Structure 1
């Protein structure tokens, strides 16, 4: 055997060995705690409510889902929103994140100016306020916290406090300006999971806030070359054109026809949370991207972004559980995130996953 052939054989053997290697340590095999209550996490995969037909009355349609989630009694609720603190950090790097900020970040400047606080200071003040929150809360105190959460860039939590006010007390005052009060009224009517589900549920359960855990720090600007941008889009769309995608689209169309019927939306959410959906999502989207054959490896770039985003979102959830061990946490997120959330969360020693199918019966 020549030296070159020997090196080639060794290289092939090493590559195969690396591919087959499995680490002996599996964090999910070491669940705790041995003393105390474990953290329990329910991941609720959602259809984005903004995309549902306008003739679906979300209030009545969501009520069966809200009732079941309320019966589970989560003590913390996390949403697919970017935190005020992350948006503040992204704004400091416009060369990379200008489009991300325009798309995903609400501007809290007006609220901050009303209180004389920037985003970090408003977040710190909101935390201090909640740390000394009285057992009996006056309306003026809630309005002040509404204003603080708005200045902090946490409008979902501001809406929770707004909904906990009696209708007569939902007005300007105590740092909340009339334009900001009008904004909250309009925001409360928006058709999305934070306004119609998470904030409503938190207020119903007597929670003081919700948590924004989305993460867009892995975002990058679109390619400057229009031809490259067009090629990227064409490659991803071609990858998505597959039988699993068509099956998902057909499923969505079937359920959307019955959304206005009693229990129609709940049935759709049950279907999206079926454990078998994880494999369908992978074959339709991310697995197809992994196999995408462009020489620029556009699909693998897209997949890398998706995995990074989910890892950072899950890290944000894990951080919240650190604050109060033994928490029952509800994670409300787009259905494509659910299998990744659960796979990554299951690696955590102090996280026990809850079967959404049982809660949604």
Structure 2
């Protein structure tokens, strides 16, 4: 006799013991007879029914916790964009993050010429893109447009904003129009002195005065005149900018001009300032946790062991040692712990401390994003960021998560001895 199957009602089938989910009936399948073919067909039908029933049961039992149960059984590592880096078809994009003490805080006797051993090595690195802690013109204008929300943009970039608005009026262009025209002119190549003067005026109108300074530096002194969109007042301003004693001009713009780049890129951020706690709230935190002051000022045994007091850029002989220290892994860990992680460990800092760290992380994330965007057109090339040393460990940590970014060791770069570079 052949066996056929008859499914139980669905609810019963999904809850009954497996062996009882199907009742076997003693009946002959019509037209098959008692032969082998009939028996094979019967068993195939039975198996098909079992498969369908099991599928239905699983679907019925999935419920809201099924996804969580499935996730808990997954094996392997979470997705990591940087994991593909060893498999890149071409060489990765290199990024060198040079951390420093802001040069405008250096002692009065500091001389820009003392930086030459560092500048020489940066020129030997041959960056394709140079970024600084200055804000981009786009962000400056955005802050100004949203002044009711962010506060007066002039507190971050007063001269930049006033220069931009004056140049926009002279050229009858908006900041964005000036930037589009400037980028187009940069792509032209073979720029004449007249082109460079016009390009300088466009960059000023686009709220990119440090890129204008690069153009001004690339002009011979006799060509730095009021013409081609540059007014007499702007000549004075650009001459003043070119002589500023800060890392944006004395290092970034100088190297850009020396290696033949047309502009700088701003990686600085103040959009995230709206996330920061008020100064009154931070003062209350420091008052409640006096030990934070020593940490912020590096007045700890770990920092005193260096000692940092002997590294103030007060002599030419200090330059290399200061830059090596500020870019060391040890400094990065100690400074990040003192400035940020200490507040996360403090009960008294509470949510205010955590809010401050959140804003700091957001600021550094935006800086890393600016670098990634600037390096997109130069895949496999070299980028340089010159930035305050406190930013370096955070920016580098975020850059390590990108697929096509390879960090360059600053200490190794400083230890190198390119031809023509002094010790």
TM class by smaller structure = 0.7 to 0.9
Asked if the contact 2:282–2:352 (Cα under 8 Å) also holds between the matched residues in 1, the reply is no
Q: Any conservation in 2 of the 1:292–1:300 contact (CA below 8 Å)?
A: no
> How many Å apart are 1:65 and its aligned residue?
0.6
CA deviation after TM superposition for structure 1 residue 252, in Å: 3.1
1:278 paired to 2:328: no
- Is the CA contact 1:139–1:169 (under 8 Å) kept in the aligned structure 2? yes
1:162 aligned partner? 216
Distance 1:38 1:228 in 2: 44
The answer for the alignment partner of 2:365 in structure 1 is: 311
Q: Please tell me whether residue 116 in structure 1 is matched to residue 169 in structure 2.
A: no
What is the TM-score when the length of structure 2 is the normalising length? Answer: 0.74
The equivalent position to 2:191 in structure 1, one of 134, 137, 148, is 137
**Cα separation, partners in 2 of 1:115 and 1:29, compared to 1, 3 Å:** same
The answer to whether structure 1 residue 37 and structure 2 residue 37 are counterparts is no
- Distance in 2, matches of 1:236 and 1:91, equals 36
Pair 1:126-2:179 in alignment: no
The 1:227/1:328 distance shift into structure 2, 3 A limit, reads: closer
Unmatched 5+ stretches in structure 2: 1-71, 416-423
Shift in Å at residue 222 of structure 1? 8.0
1:184 maps to: 238
CA deviation profile, 1:90-128 (whole Å, cap 9, x unmatched) = 111112322454223521111111111111111111112
The TM-score, its normalising length taken from structure 1, stands at: 0.86
Residue 183 to residue 295, structure 1, CA distance change in 2 (3 Å): closer
C-alpha distance after superposition, 1:277-301 (max 9, x if no partner): 1210122111112123237521111
Q: How does 1:57-206 map to 2 (within 5 A)?
A: 57-58=111-112, 60-105=113-158, 106-107=160-161, 108-131=164-187, 133-134=188-189, 136-206=190-260
- 1:341/1:230 Cα in 2 relative to 1: closer, same or farther (>3 Å)? closer
Gaps of 5+ in 1: 1-17
C-alpha spacing 1:236/1:151, structure 2 compared with 1 (3 Å): farther
Residues 298 and 130 (structure 1), Cα distance of their counterparts in 2 relative to 1, 3 Å cut = same
What's the offset of the Cα at 1:215?
Answer: 1.4
Root mean square deviation of aligned Cα: 2.4
Q: 1:238 to 1:73 in 2, by over 3 A?
A: same
Change (3 A) 1:92 1:165: same
Is the Cα–Cα contact under 8 Å of residues 213 and 316 in structure 1 kept in the other structure? Answer: yes
**Per-residue CA distance 1:45-98 (angstroms, 9 max, x = gap):** 11100100011112x211111001111111110000101111111111112322
Offset at residue 311 of structure 1 (A): 0.5
Select the residue among 335, 341, 358 that pairs with 2:395: 341
Aligned to 2:67: none
1:259 alignment partner in structure 2: 314
Alignment length, in residue pairs?
Answer: 335
Please say which structure displays the higher CA radius of gyration: 2
2:343 equivalent to 1:289: yes
Identify if the C-alpha distance between structure 1 residues 304 and 222 changes in structure 2 by more than 3 Å, giving closer, same or farther: closer
Matched, 1:213 2:267: yes
- Answer whether contact 2:134 2:267 (CA < 8 A) is retained: yes
Q: What displacement does 1:321 show?
A: 1.2
Asked if the contact 1:100/1:219 (under 8 Å) is kept, the reply is: no
- Cα distance in 1 for residues equivalent to 2:344 and 2:153: 24
Deviation at 1:208? 0.8
- State whether residues 235 and 299 of structure 1, in contact with CA within 8 Å, keep that contact through their aligned partners in structure 2: no
